[in-house]
Amino acid sequence: MKRLIVCIKQVPDTSDVRIDPETNTLVREGVESILNPLDPFAIEEAVRVKERMGGVVTAITMGPPQAKKVLQHAIALGADEGYLICGPEFAGADTLATSYTLAQAIRRLGNAVLIFCGKQAIDGDTAQVGPGIAAHLDLPQLIYVRKIRKINKRYIVVESMTDTGYEIIRSTLPAVLTVVKEINEPRLPSLKSAMKGRRYEPNVLGGEEIKADFNRLGLKGSPTRVVRIFVPEQARKTKILTGNPEEIAVNLFSSLQKEGVLRCQ
């Protein structure tokens, strides 16, 4: 059974970001959590490859018990099965420990042909986990993929975005892909798929099940230390001007003069 694996993540809704000043970490308690916005594109592309070549789409995530919600979302979007990597040993993981953990889970599951990730998660914005998985598994990494041009049992050809355009890259399989939102338009789940996702209970794996080195998990396996993180203060002022167009223009000109934005000679 060939697997098309999609690594997904539960992230806090960025419309309600709060920082704990003592720990320099995101406050997640009481904050709405969502599926990382780039992950539906990875799920959709895995489903499209399955429709062309066959296989099983497997979604995996590392997180607390409530992260099963994003796996249920993945099932609604077309994934066949989901695995939740969960346990106290994974707490406090940075991108190195996270990519190691996901790589160990992928090894444990076996038969991976392609491993899909969104190019980055919105809570950290590092874009390091996908390449990290590739490094741990010693696999080719294709990043910022906007299109799969060709795929067969032996190799894949993709378009990878760059700062000035895109590159066409051919790679042997298996491989790790990080995808951008330009790659596709995720389908909306049908009522049947949505109900299937809501009822789905994911498989749960701990450190023992994935045969991990516990010294490389969680905070213990994380060399990264966050010195400071903060939400910048809003310095902009909002002023609403009313009246007819001529009055608004005069008041705007006067306000800009007072602020020193405009200087008349």
Q: Where are the domains positioned within the chain? A: 3-221
If you write DSSP's letter for every residue of 160-185 in order, what string do you get? EE-SSSEEEEEEESSEEEEE-GGG--
**Residue 241 to residue 143: CA distance in whole angstroms:** 47
Rounded CA-CA distance 206/31 in Å is 25
Helices (H), 200-244: none
pTM for this predicted structure: 0.83
Taking only the tens place, the pLDDT of each residue in 160-193 is: 999 999 999 999 999 999 999 999 999 999 999 9
**pLDDT of residue 41 exceeding 70:** yes
Q: How far is CA 109 from CA 5, 81, 203, 257, in A?
A: 10, 12, 11, 66
**pLDDT tens-digit readout, 62-95:** 999 999 999 999 999 999 999 999 999 999 899 9
CATH of 3-221, one of 3.40.50.620, 3.30.70.20, 3.20.20.80, 3.30.1860.10: 3.40.50.620
> Is pLDDT above 70 for 25?
no
For 99-157, what is each residue's pLDDT tens digit? 999 999 999 999 999 999 999 998 878 899 999 999 999 999 999 999 999 999 999 99
